[in-house]
Amino acid sequence: MGLRLAWLSDPGIHRQNNEDYIAVRTELKSSDAVIVIADGMGGHASGQVASKLVADTIVDEVAALDKLDGERLHDVLAKANTAVYEAAQSSAEHTGMGTTVVLVAIRHGRATTLNVGDSPAYLIRSGEISDIYQNHSWPAEQARAGIITADQVAGHPMKHRLARAVGVWDQVKAYMTQVDLQLGDLIVLCSDGVEGAGVSVDEIRDNLDQEDLQVAVEQLIALCVDRGAPDNVSVAVARVE
């Protein structure tokens, strides 16, 4: 099995800065590929600082490993969390900064994903798209606790408030999935700006159903921009070939 990768980020229509950051590393000792999307938050460009710091820390730490499993990947994320948290604590300008993270590490046909926050990850297989992440927005956490219904999450006025993020607290708890990959599978990582632009998961699937993966990603980002893209938008895809 081989991997084809494609990724792109765009600031969107209404944002001057791009607080999304994508980091990609391939052909490592510990993994065939690692892809990270981080969506930063905080004033005074702090979101850009947080997203770049956490994504670069993750790929650097993974690159330093001889082998990779779920436990080591959690350890890597903990180090990235500490890096952002300590940077925020040491600078009044960056106090309170943080970021979402969604990442995938692929090794020997197995994809391990971790996420913290509301940046989604999907598996596209045989024309079907499914979630391989957990939404850590405040209303999504309330729905899992049975306080509100799942149908109330999408339109909730606090749907952009995060119950979990990287770097905001000194500890972080991630959601992990592992998938044994098949020929033709796609792993798709996004920032929440894709959903925020009104692009559905079915549209994500349909736009990525073409031979040239980079063109497909570019067209998906263009669709987000055409829809108004009120936030930064980022997409990264790995296809098994």
SS3 assignment for 69-95: CHHHHHHHHHHHHHHHHHHHHCCHHHC
pTM of this structure: 0.95
Among 192, 188, 180, 226, smallest CA distance to 208 is for 188
At residue 44, the pLDDT reads: 65
CB atoms within 10 A of CB 205: 17
At residue 1, the pLDDT reads: 76
Can you give the residue range of the structural domain that contains 222? Answer: 3-240
Give per-residue pLDDT as tens, 124-140. Answer: 999 999 999 999 999 88
Q: How far is CA 168 from CA 40, 54, 124, in A?
A: 11, 12, 32
Interval 199-208 mean pLDDT? 98
CATH number at residue 182: 3.60.40.10
Q: Does residue 104 surpass a pLDDT of 80?
A: yes
Say how many domains are in the chain.
1
At residue 57, the pLDDT reads: 98
